[in-house]
Structure 1
C-alpha cells in the first residue's frame, strides 16, 4: 500500500491557508482511502458533510482547525461500507416475526413457532430462516405436525433464501385452497405433492397463492428504523435494497426527508408491470440519501430449494431442471422497456441456464450501448462458455453464499458444474470489478463475514482447512474495493461515495482491527467502534 504524501486540496468554498475552520478532524488513524492507487493516510478534515482534506497528521493540523477533533488511537478507518445486495426493509420486518435461522431440525422449527406464539399470540404466524440442508434429514418438511400444533392459526414461514414457503392447512384455507388441490397450474414454481396431497411446501411462484397480511404503516416504519440500527452497528452506510415497491420507496423517502432515516439506500424497484410503467415514465429519482434508478428482476429460484434453472438435470433429482420465473420472452420484453429508459436492470440469476438466458438477453437488447452497468445478481453457476458475457455486465455477488452452500452444492449439481460455481475471481478477471453484498437476511448482516468468506473461503469454524475452491478467492484489497468503491460504481455513485477523497460524502467507519493485516481467522470477530454518515456519528460501540 502506498502512503498518501500530499493530498491537501482546495474546494471552491475554502481557501488553503492555515487554520481553516472545519466541522470535524479525525487524526492518528490508519486511513484506507480506497482511492485509485489504494493510498493510506493519517488524518481527515470534514466540513458540511464532505471530506475537504486527507493527509498526514501534520498536514491537517497545520492547515485546519476544529472544535471537534477525534483521536482515532491508530485504529483503522475505512470508507463507509456498502452492501450491494440485501433486503434492508425485509430485515426490519423480520424483527417482528419468528426467526428460524440456524435451526438444526424440523422439531426445532416447531419449538420456536410454539414459543413465538406464546409470546405474541399472532393471528397469522409468519417468519423465515429454516433450511432443510442443515437438518439430519435433508428433505423438505411436511405440514402434518404444523396442523396439529396450529389447527386454527395460519402459519406461513419462509425458507432461508425466500424461495420456498412452508404453510399449514389453516394458511391454505385462508387463501382459498386446501391440501387436496394438487392440480393447481403454476409457471415458475411448484406445489410439492406427496401421497396425493399438498405437503405444505410451495416453491417460488407457487408462494404467491398464499395471502399473507402485510404490515401496517407503523410496523413498516418500525421495521425500517430497526434495520437501520442493525446496519449502522456493522459499519454499513449504504445498502442496495433488492426489491422495493412504490409505497415502500415513498415511505423511505419521507423518513429520510424528515431526518429519521439516515441510511443511504439504493433502491432496486420490484419489476412488476405497474412499477415498470410508473418509474420508466417518471425517470430517475435521486437525493443525497435515496437513489431510485434500477429494477430488480427474478430470473429463477434458489439452489437450496432446487428452483435454480439448470441446463441439465440436477445431480440429486432425476429429470428436474428448476425453472425460470417467467417465460423466456418475458425477460426480453422487460429488458427492452428498461433499455429505453435510463434505468438499470438487475436480475437474480442462480442456475447456469438462467445466467445464460439473462446474459444473452442483455446483450441482444443493449447491443452497443455504453455504460449501462446492468447487473447479474448472484451469478452463482456459470457455464465455462458463458463467462465471456460478463465483459460489460457487472457481477453482483455474495461471498457467504459460497461458504453456506459448499457442504451440499457439489451433490446438487455435480463436480463438473461446480467448476463454474461461486467463481468470484474469474468473474472479477472478466469484468474488472465485482460488487459485494450479503443478501441479508438470507445470510447474516455482518459484512466481516463477507470479507472473510471472500478471502479465506471458509466457514466460521475454519472449514475447510485449506479453503473452498481457493482459485476463486479474492485478495483483501479486491474485497475491500468490492465492498466500497466498486459497489458504489455498480450504483452509478462512485463520484460521491465509496472512497475517502476530497469532495465525497464523509461516510466512514472505524474498526477495532485492520482488515488488511490481521490474521485471517480473526476477521469474522471484527467490531465496529464507530460509524459516521455525512461526518455525523450514527453509531458508537
Structure 2
C-alpha cells in the first residue's frame, strides 16, 4: 500500500511538472500591453496569443506567457493595442491615382492652383493629360468657381481635368472639352455643364457631367495600377488600417481586385462595393456575390445626389446662398424601382445621400420596403431634417459617417444652409442615438486617410488647428469609446463581419494595431499626432515603424 501511494505521488508530480513546462504552441504572443479588446464590455486586457491568424486566448501577461510559447513574442512595453482600424467609407483606386496626380489640396487662390499645375507639368513634361484634385473655391478670397479661360492661358495644348475637393465637380480646359467633343452646353441628367453670363461653357462640370470628359483620360496598365494600389496600401497600413470599405467600384476595377487578391498581391482587407446605376440594376445583381478571406463583394453602391460644397446636394429648400435646391442624380421612380429589385436580392445597399431631401427620400423608400434586417446603409447622411432622424431607428437604416467632413465644411456651412438647418448637419450624436451604432470612415482621398483624424474630429469637433476652441456643435460629438467602436466593431457590423473581426476576442481574425500613445486618454491636441508602431493582419506584421 505504501509503495502504491508513493507511486501515485511520483506520477502526480510528474504530470504537474509536464503541465508547468509544456506550453501550447502559438505563432505570436503580445504581452505587457494595454489591450483595448472593444468587446461588448469594452474590457481591457494585458496580452493575447495568436495561431493561424486567429486570436486563441486573451488575458493577463502571466496567464499567456505561462500557457503559450511562440516563435515571435512582442513585448508591447505598456503601449496601447486596439483592434485593426476599419475605414467604413473609402476609395482605394482614387487614392492610388491621387499619389501620382497633381495635388491641389489647400490652394489658397486660383493663382496658386495654376502655379502647382505648372510645377507638375515641368516635372512630368510627357504626360498626355494633366489630372489632379483637391481644389476648393471656398478657401479663396472671392469664393467663386474658376474658369477654363484661366487654364487656357497657360495650358492651351494639353488637356486638363482637375477634381474639386469633394470629387463631385471638376474644372477642365478647352483642350479637354475639344477631345470630348463638347462645344456647347447641354442637359445632363443628374449633372451640370456650367455656363457664364455669355452662355459660354466655364469648364466646370458637376456630378454626372464629369464623366463626359473623364472617360477620355487614358487608363494605366495592369502593372501600373497594381503598383499604385500597393503604394496606397503602404500608406493605409502605416496608420493602422487593416480593413477598408471601397465605396463604389466599376466592373473593371472589381475584376482587377479579384485578380490581385487571388494572387496575394494585396494585403489589406477590402469590403468592395459595386457602383451601380439604378436604371440598369439587374446587370449588377447578376454579377453575384464574391467572398474570399480578404476581399468581399456583396454590396451595391448608388448615388442619390452630389456634394454640399458644389451645391449638388439635394435640399428640401433653396440654398441660403443660391436660388437652387440642388438635384437628384436620378429620379425617385428610378430609385424606387431599383431598390425594390435589390430588396429581393442578397445584396446589401449603400447609397450616398448628402442633402435633407435625398436623405428623406431614401429613408422613406427603405421604410416602404421593410429592409430592417438587411443592414442597408446611407453613406454620409450629412444633412437630415429634424423629423427624419427617428426613421433611422424605425426603419433600421445604418448611418455611415465621416467626422472630418464636419470640421472641413464648418467654416462655410452656415453660408450654404443657414444656422437653423445646420442643426441637423453632421449630427453624429443624433444618428447614433437613433440607430445605436455609427460606422466611421474617412472618405479618402477627399479627406486624409489617417483614421485618427476621424477619431479626433468625432470627439472634439475641431479641425487640425484645434478650432473652434469649444468645438463645432458639440452636442453632436461622440465619446472616445463610441468613436473607437465606430472605427472597429461597428464598421465590421456594417459589413456583416462582426463575428470575424472588429474586436480582440477568441476566434476572431488577429488584426490589430499598436500605437505609441493611448487615444483613450491622450490630450485632445495630441490625438492627430499619435503614430502607429505596428500594424498586424491575420497575425502577420504588415507595417512596423522600427
TM-score, normalising length: structure 2: 0.93
**Deviation digits for residues 338-378 of structure 1 (CA, Å, limit 9, x no counterpart):** 1111111100000000000111111112x2x4420000000
Q: Counterpart in 1 of 2:8? A: none
Does structure 2 retain, via aligned residues, the 8 Å contact 1:18–1:62? no
Contact 2:26 2:49 (C-alpha < 8 Å) held by counterparts: yes
The aligned residue for residue 164 of structure 1 is 169
* 1:209 to 2:212 alignment: yes
Which among 286, 289, 292 is matched to residue 284 of structure 1? 289
Structure-2 residue corresponding to 1:126:
131
Task: Name the counterpart of 1:411.
Answer: 415
| Post-superposition CA distance 1:246-292 (Å, at most 9, x none) | 22112112212222201100011101369843442343211110111
Runs of 5+ unmatched residues, structure 2: 1-18
2:37/2:82 contact within 8 Å kept:
yes
Q: CA deviation at 1:18?
A: 5.2
For residues 488 and 512 of structure 1, the distance between their equivalents in structure 2, rounded to whole angstroms, comes to 24
The CA distance in 1 between the partners of 2:241 and 2:250, in whole Å, is: 22
**In the alignment, does 2:230 pair up with 1:228?**
no
Distance 1:466 1:309 in 2: 30
Q: Deviations over 1:69-106 (max 9, x none)?
A: 01001000000000000101210111121111111111
Q: Does 1:494 align with 2:498?
A: yes
What per-residue deviation string (whole Å, max 9, x for no partner) do you get for residues 436-483 of structure 1?
A: 000000001111110000000001111111000000000000000000
Q: Is the 8 A contact 1:269 1:275 kept in 2?
A: no
Matches within 5 A, 1:332-347: 332-347=336-351
Equivalent position of 1:389 in the other structure? 391
Structure 2 counterpart SS, 1:51: strand
CA distance in 1, matches of 2:257, 2:357: 35
Asked if the contact 1:381/1:421 (under 8 Å) is kept, the reply is yes
SS at match of 1:493: coil
| Structure 1 residues 437-452: aligned runs within 5 Å | 437-452=441-456
Residue 193 (structure 2) pairs with residue 191 (structure 1): yes
- CA shift, 1:140, in A, is 0.4
Q: After the TM superposition, which residues 332-481 of structure 1 pair with which residues of structure 2 at under 5 Å, given as runs? A: 332-365=336-369, 367=370, 369-391=371-393, 392-481=396-485
Question: Can you list the C-alpha shifts for 1:138-188, whole angstroms capped at 9, x where unaligned?
Answer: 11011112001111110010001000010000000000012xx13x01121
1: CA distance between counterparts of 2:46 and 2:453? 27
Contact 1:458/1:465 (CA < 8 Å) preserved in 2?
Answer: yes
CA contact (8 A) 1:50 1:502 kept: yes
SS in 2 for 1:455: helix
CA contact (8 A) 2:276 2:284 kept: no
> Which residue of 2 is the match for residue 295 of structure 1?
300
Cα–Cα, structure 1 residues 288 and 16, in superposed 2: closer, same or farther, change >3 Å?
Answer: farther
The equivalent position to 1:251 in structure 2, one of 250, 256, 261, is 256
Decide which structure has the larger Cα Rg and report it: 2
C-alpha displacement of 1:218: 2.2
Which residue number in structure 2 is paired with residue 12 of structure 1?
none
Change (3 A) 1:18 1:275: farther
Q: Name the residue aligned to 1:52.
A: 56
Q: Distance in 1 between matches of 2:200 and 2:113?
A: 22
> Residue 5 of structure 2 corresponds to which residue in structure 1?
none
Shift of 1:239: 0.5
The two structures, once aligned, show a CA RMSD in angstroms of 1.5
Q: State the alpha-carbon separation in 2 of the partners of residues 278 and 539 from structure 1.
A: 39
* CA–CA distance in structure 2, aligned partners of residues 246 and 62 of structure 1: 51
* Aligned-partner SS, 2:424: coil
Contact 2:372-2:397 at 8 Å conserved across structures: no
Shift of 1:304: 0.2
Q: How does 1:499-518 map to 2 (within 5 A)?
A: 499-518=503-522
Q: Which residue of 2 aligns with 1:3?
A: none
The secondary structure found in structure 2 opposite 1:126 is strand
Tell me the equivalent position of 1:7. Answer: none
Match of 1:142 in 2: 147
- Find the aligned partners of 2:228 and 2:344 in 1 and give their Cα distance: 35
